[in-house]
Amino acid sequence: MPTVLLRGKDGKACLTDFRYVIRGDQSLEKAAILGKGLGQQNKRKALDKTDSHGGGHDGREQRRMVSKLLEEFDVEEQPSTLLETRFPNIKVIESGVKQLKSEEHCVLTEDGSQYIYKQLCLCAGAKPKLVCEGNPYVVGIRDTDSAQEFQKQLTTAKRIMIIGNGGIALELVYEIEGCEVIWAIKDKAIGNTFFDAGAAEFLTSELITEKLEAKIAHKRTRYTTEGRKKEARTTAKASNVGSALGPDWHEGLNLKGTKEFSHKIHIENMCEIKKIYLQEEFINLKKESLILPSDNKSVKTIDKEMWPVYVELTNEKIYGCDLIVSATGVTPNVEPFVLGNNFNLGQDGGLEVDDHMHTSLPDIYAAGDICTASWQPSPVWQQMRLWTQARQMGWYAAKCMAADHLGEPIDMDFSFELFAHVTKFFNYKVVLLGKYNAQDLGSDHELMLRCTKGQEYVKVVMQNGRMMGAVLIGETDLEETFENLILNQMDLSSYGEDLLDPNIDIEDYFD
Ligand SMILES: Cc1cc2nc3c(=O)[nH]c(=O)nc-3n(C[C@H](O)[C@H](O)[C@H](O)COP(=O)(O)OP(=O)(O)OC[C@H]3O[C@@H](n4cnc5c(N)ncnc54)[C@H](O)[C@@H]3O)c2cc1C
Ligand SMILES: NC(=O)C1=CN([C@@H]2O[C@H](COP(=O)(O)OP(=O)(O)OC[C@H]3O[C@@H](n4cnc5c(N)ncnc54)[C@H](OP(=O)(O)O)[C@@H]3O)[C@@H](O)[C@H]2O)C=CC1
């Protein structure tokens, strides 16, 4: 069993408390990049870890270093014509790809054109993996269109159900106002893709404290999504998906239901969707005195109000609601490319790429959400389908394509040495480093925690005296030091609990 050490900020032990641009290398004029995710987002604030080379940046970005590897910056969407003007070797074709003929080195687009490539990089992202796909009451959020459709439906909703326990769900429960939210999760605690139960508890208290009420005052700069909406419509007909949204996607969307209250969230944990009934089906069901055909058990309905749709959960509760949001992860968008092409696919359905971002087919590379990293990773890196990694992969894939074209060797990019992600949940800065949830470490690890309710939550994951990962919630100022400690794998055994002692200036300690 892992050892857990808990401390408050006062030192006492306690229990409570990311655009890529392929720069002007003429040797790449025949390299095609399919998909225009990262480079085409509207102005939005991105919280991201970047490489030290700063590729693809221009003067329009305003950067703020969070640590040596983590930085925060604004990205401004520009029309593709501007891109072509600034980088004359780039030609943007605004048409979806409907077929890839890898043996002929050829792609066919929806407008009936075909293009011969020397090298190809597939960056078509992913699409939401929906529960009960096809049900008109189940929505997923991926791009501007789907986010705006959701906003529209929310304006007439009194109660919605959110399924899933990852990034989208976490952001939605915090952002939605004036609408009752039933949040159904498979796990015991919220945010399983990002947190452990301790961090979840730290954040859950925010769901019920006055901090939520005051959050509007803390909201970051708003931006509009009009430009992005247009872009999504004109470029992505092949798959009917636009670029995935990124940090602050909900800014500029009025996520408000019909009710006057701010937040009303009810969490149903340890359950999944068993069945969805349309109103008529449900009425018929009621006539059969609440005996469900599936298991012949009586089930409890939660209220007497009539709803357009009813969800039966595996814990036998049935909730009526106006809408079901399936925030249940993504599946790589490989369809138009795999048909007739013998790609190796990863377990998650992505295009397998090696340590040169090369797929299993000649001259085809892939980057971002569409791919599955299939190299032997660093002990403190794992793939997650994040903006951060999509950008790093895009940058590195371009370098690999150029190196391969020139017959030059290339080392693995530094960004893949350490997993690092910075984001915001419940208005707290959240930094995730390395094996932040002790992923793949087995039971032979130790956790050290420092938590001060409402202020900070610090967790480090130790193995054999070395720091393997960390979760930093709040303004901890520990990210840079911990980044270094994880990267250099220094033996920290002799420091013991002092590592999290708030009375010790750890930055000075390891200088
Ligand atoms: C709501 C939401 C919030 C998010 N928030 C964050 C966050 O805060 N931080 C973070 O790090 N990550 C976040 N992510 C994840 C992040 O957005 C993705 O990991 C990232 O955008 C993936 O980049 P990509 O370039 O691989 O794919 P995408 O951004 O999805 O771009 C793929 C592009 O390919 C195009 N395309 C698809 N099929 C075809 C085709 N057949 N022909 C031509 N073009 C095609 C699409 O139109 C799209 O433009 C969020 C995702 C969502 C949905
Ligand atoms: N701030 C950020 O960094 C944000 C990042 N994102 C990224 O955008 C992408 C899409 O986000 P999201 O959809 O939230 O995906 P995530 O992968 O973050 O989370 C999906 C969640 O749904 C659960 N799930 C999967 N299938 C089912 C099911 N059938 N029933 C109930 N629960 C299920 C998963 O559980 P399990 O893990 O057990 O399978 C997991 O909790 C992700 O790549 C995410 O990382 C999105 C928003 C914000």
Interhelix angle for 226-235 vs 144-154, to 10°? Answer: 120
How many Cα atoms occupy the beta-carbon half-sphere of 464 within 13 Å? 5
Index of the ligand 2 atom closest to the CA of residue 273:
30
**Residue 330: CB partners within 8 Å, gap ≥ 6?**
126, 127, 128, 129, 142, 244, 369, 385
Q: How far is the CA of 167 from the centre of ligand 2 (A)?
A: 6
Task: Report d(CA 389, CA 422) in Å as an integer.
Answer: 12
Name the least confident of 74-78, 302-306, 374-378, 476-480: 74-78
Residue 456 DSSP SS3: strand
Asked whether 236 lines ligand 1 (CB < 6 A), one says: yes
Which of 241, 82, 81 is closest to 147 using CA atoms?
241
- Which ligand 1 atom is the nearest neighbour of the CA of 97? 42
- Summarize pLDDT for 423-441 with one digit per residue, the tens: 999 989 999 999 999 999 9
ipTM of model: 0.98
Least confident of 48-57, 74-83, 124-133, 311-320: 48-57
The protein residue with its alpha carbon nearest to ligand 2, atom 19, reads: 166
Determine if ligand 2 sits within 6 Å of the CB of residue 432: no
Tell me how far CA of residue 137 lies from CA of 25, 133, 307, 312, 464, in angstroms: 48, 10, 11, 14, 50
Mutate to test the pocket of ligand 1, among 41, 114, 230, 243 (most ligand atoms within 8 A of CB): 243
Confidence of residue 496 (pLDDT cuts 50, 70, 90): confident
Q: Which ligand is nearest to the CA of 36?
A: 1
* pLDDT band at residue 73 under the 50/70/90 scheme: low
Which tokens in the block code for residue 243?
């670029």
The CB of 169 under 6 Å from ligand 2? The reply is yes
One-letter amino acid of 118 = K
* Concatenated DSSP letters of 233-252: HHH-TTTT--PPP-TTTTTT
In this predicted structure, the answer to whether residue 365 has a pLDDT above a threshold of 70 is: yes
The pairing of strands 466-473 and 456-463 is antiparallel
Structure tokens, 112: 């009936």
Residue length of the chain: 511
Tell me which of 178-182, 223-227, 238-242, 463-467 is least confident.
223-227
The pLDDT of 216-245, averaged and rounded, is 40
Which of the two residues, 326 and 231, has the higher pLDDT score?
326
Confidence check: pLDDT of 36 > 50: no
Query: Cβ(41)–Cβ(131) under 8 Å?
Result: no
How much is the average pLDDT of 209-226? 38
CA 130 to chain centre: 15
Q: Tell me the CA–centroid distance for residue 43 and ligand 2, in Å.
A: 24
Please work out whether the CB of residue 145 comes within 6 Å of at least one atom of ligand 2: no
Q: Which atom of ligand 2 is nearest to the CA of 131?
A: 29
Cβ(238)–Cβ(110) below 8 Å: yes
Per the model's pLDDT, the better-predicted residue between 233 and 203 turns out to be: 203
User: Which range among 38-42, 150-154, 221-225, 490-494 shows the weakest confidence by mean pLDDT?
Assistant: 221-225
In 3D space, the residue among 39, 117, 115, 20 whose CA is nearest the CA of residue 398 turns out to be: 20
Q: Are 367 and 396 in contact (CB under 8 A)?
A: yes
52 C-alpha vs ligand 2 centroid, how far in Å? Answer: 29
CA distance 340 to 318: 44
CA 118 / ligand 2 centre spacing (Å):
36
Checking if the pLDDT of 233 tops 80, the result is: no
What is the model's pLDDT at position 53? 40
Query: Backbone phi, then psi, for 397, in 5-degree steps?
Result: -60, -40
CB of 192 sitting under 6 A from ligand 2:
yes
441: phi then psi, degrees, rounded to nearest 5: -90, -5
CA dihedral 196, 199, 171, 239 (to 10 degrees): -20
Average pLDDT, the chain: 79
Write the DSSP symbol of residue 143: S
Looking at all shown ligands, the one closest to residue 37's CA atom is: 1
Query: What average pLDDT does range 390-402 have in this prediction?
Result: 95
Tell me if 463 sits within 8 A of 379, measured CB to CB.
no
Q: Of the given ranges (176-180, 253-257, 422-426), which has the lowest mean pLDDT?
A: 253-257
Cα–Cα distance measured from residue 195 to residue 213, given in angstroms and rounded to the nearest whole number = 23
C-alpha to C-alpha distances, 276 to 138, 233, 284, 320, nearest whole angstrom: 10, 31, 14, 10
Ligand nearest to the CA of 437: 2
37-46, 103-112, 392-401: segment of lowest average pLDDT: 37-46
Query: Residue 92 — φ and ψ, nearest 5°?
Result: -100, 125
Cβ–ligand 1 distance for 34 under 6 Å, the answer: yes
On whether the CB atoms of residues 235 and 96 are closer than 8 A, the answer is yes
Sign of CA dihedral 393, 399, 400, 401: positive
What pLDDT sits at residue 240? 52
- pLDDT-derived band at 213 (thresholds 50, 70, 90) equals very low
Spacing, Cα 386 to ligand 1 middle (Å)? 8
pLDDT band with cut points at 50, 70 and 90 for residue 24: very low
Q: How far is residue 238's CA from residue 490's CA, in Å, rounded to a whole number? A: 50
C-alpha distances out from residue 510 to 69, 445, 463, 475, Å: 17, 22, 19, 20
Of residues 119 and 453, the one with the higher pLDDT is 119
Confidence of residue 115 (pLDDT cuts 50, 70, 90): very high
Q: Lowest mean pLDDT of 1-10, 142-151, 168-177, 279-288, name the range.
A: 1-10
